[in-house]
A and B are shown apart, each in its own frame.
Chain A
């Protein structure tokens, strides 16, 4: 059985629903996997200005996950256009460029600079938990999300994917705000603000004290948020968070994701995305599903009412 793996993300047709998460993908991976096999390529977040990034240690492992506080080091958009973009133009997979900026106007200016051939979409990283002091990010509330996405929408004709943060109390409202402001898709979501301490040295394990948690341990939280967002908006959701196997990707799609991003797993298994793409075909064939897109939102809602006596211990 030939399975159609193609999906449509806000008008952008992808050969399959699997792509890297920003920050876990770069030129070096081309030595290990074929980039043209990917549904899309997603760059590390770039900024208009030069940035050095956070102090080390920038990474720590926790059980079934990792913390990072990289801090978005960037050589700037001019460097990206001149030195990095030509590398990605040699591949056929659509290129999604992740951007960030310290202000809303700077976000819009960055998007405008990237309105060039060879870039299929802009992923607006309005969610990085360690970009500003105490992890503040635009996507933590609906108002600032609406404002920044509105400016981005006015600045570029490229599709805009808004990457949301799980570090908010009401992700559905943020998702709706991004949709209403003109986002073409949502990436749900970035890492979860976290912290760990080395009990021998009494020191935080990260140089920046706090960082973003990712990996298998966060998956149930992000599956939940994907499901909530999918119910709140009509634009496609790209699920992200702890996906390392085909089964994880299927789970996200059932929760409402149209596509998925694989992040931390690539650090552990550089061929993880390729294995998941192959696995989706096998899974769909086994289930008699002709198009992988049929999985999106196909979770069966439970329709049972619990009696008061059953609900209480």
Chain B
């Protein structure tokens, strides 16, 4: 069966910065809550030069019956060129992440990166809104730091099932970000409420641009509001991936460009894309 979609005509320049496959050493590995772990790796440049929104292809250890064949793509939670470290916040969901969870301080692992195109900030923007859910927050946290470093105000809307799943508040707070927490448990994460929050932020001049990751529902909401209110935006996307270097064409997604549908590689052309061009996950 052949897809009836038009072939990709999208060409982006090579992803930003150098890339290498290096052996990194686990500095620390801690459980953040019942579902998420924080992995801190010592890795010199270019790994520690990763910018917000870029990702790595991680070689996950085998553990018992779990023998992940592919590497696992994972966005950077933090990269620190001064300390020579790169961090990953992840949820244990399958063979790859279960293998990752077995790593201890001092262990070594191969990491390929930094990969892909990260978030970009327009110098004209004074205030941005970040809306994330689950592990999507791991991708968005470095963006908040990039914004703060550029004197851009951040409002972080953190969506979670319940208060125990709320993460990264300290990261965003430390940057002076305004924080709105919306939860499934009290109904505040319902689309109508999130939309009201976004409209209010826009009315107050806090939404020069919109950023999201981790939820199709929230992406579609932001996309609709962005189109209606003429607010630019960016979304970090995910897809099954093998190589991370644009070679295998496994990780394609469809995007709307004008009245055409365009197939793009998430690893090479993204993972950050224009919010208005993204189609449903």
Most buried by B among A23, A56, A66, A76: A56
Q: Mark A67-98, 1 if CB is under 8 A from B, else 0.
A: 01011011110000001000000000000000
* CB–CB B249/A32 < 8 A: no
Contacts of A32 in B (CB 8 A): 19-21, 112, 245
Q: Are A26 and B245 in contact (CB under 8 A)?
A: yes
Cα A70 to Cα B5 with chains together (Å): 14
Residue interface bits B220-244, CB-to-A below 8 A is 1, else 0? 0000000000000000000111110
Report yes or no: A25 in contact with B247, Cβ–Cβ below 8 A: yes
B253 closest partner in A (C-beta): A56
Interface-located stretch among B6-14, B125-133, B181-189, B200-208: B6-14
A23–B263 alpha-carbon span in the complex (Å): 17
- A311 proximity list for chain B (CB < 8 A): none
Q: Is the CB of B18 within 8 A of A52?
A: no
Known contacts A58-B240, A61-B69, A215-B69; A24 and B247 CB within 8 A of each other: yes
CB distance from B15 to the nearest CB of A (A): 8
Interface size on B, residues (CB 8 A): 40
Q: Please report whether the interface of chain B is mostly helix, strand, loop or mixed according to DSSP.
A: loop
Name the CB-closest residue of A to B248: A267
Residue pair A44, B247 in contact (C-beta under 8 Å): yes
CB pair A28–B252 under 8 Å, yes or no, is: no
Q: How far is the CB of A81 from the nearest CB of chain B, in Å? A: 15
Known: A24-B247, A52-B4, A75-B9. A270 touches B69 (CB 8 A): no
Known: A24-B243, A53-B263. A70 touches B249 (CB 8 A): yes
The answer to the question of B98 belonging to the interface, with a C-beta cut-off of 8 Å to chain A, is no
Contacting pair B19 A66 (CB below 8 A): no
Question: Which of A29, A73, A268 is in CB contact (< 8 Å) with B252?
Answer: A73
A28 touches B248 (CB 8 A): no
**In the docked arrangement, what's the CA distance between A208 and B71, Å?**
22
**Interface of chain A, helix or strand or loop or mixed?**
loop
Question: Across the interface, do A71 and B3 meet the contact criterion of CB distance under 8 Å?
Answer: yes
A176 to B193, CA, bound (A): 70
Contact with B along A190-215 (1 / 0, CB 8 A): 00000000000000000010000001
Q: Tell me the bound Cα distance from A184 to B247 in angstroms.
A: 27
Complex CA–CA separation, A91 to B110 (angstroms): 28
The answer for the CA separation of A137 and B33 in the assembled complex, in Å, is 52
Q: For the A-B complex with A32-B20, A59-B70 known, give 4 more contacts whose Cβ atoms are closer than 8 Å.
A: A58-B250, A66-B242, A73-B249, A271-B21
Task: Give the 9 A-B residue pairs with the shortest CB-CB distance, closest first.
Answer: A28-B245, A59-B250, A28-B246, A61-B69, A26-B247, A52-B3, A267-B243, A50-B7, A52-B5
Task: Give me the interface of A with B, judged by CB distance under 8 Å.
Answer: 23-29, 31-32, 44, 50-66, 68, 70-71, 73-76, 83, 133, 208, 215, 266-271
27 contacts between A and B (CB under 8 A): A26-B247, A27-B246, A28-B245, A32-B19, A32-B21, A52-B7, A52-B8, A54-B3, A58-B249, A58-B250, A61-B68, A63-B67, A63-B69, A64-B67, A64-B69, A65-B69, A70-B249, A70-B250, A75-B7, A75-B8, A75-B9, A267-B70, A267-B243, A268-B70, A269-B110, A270-B21, A270-B112
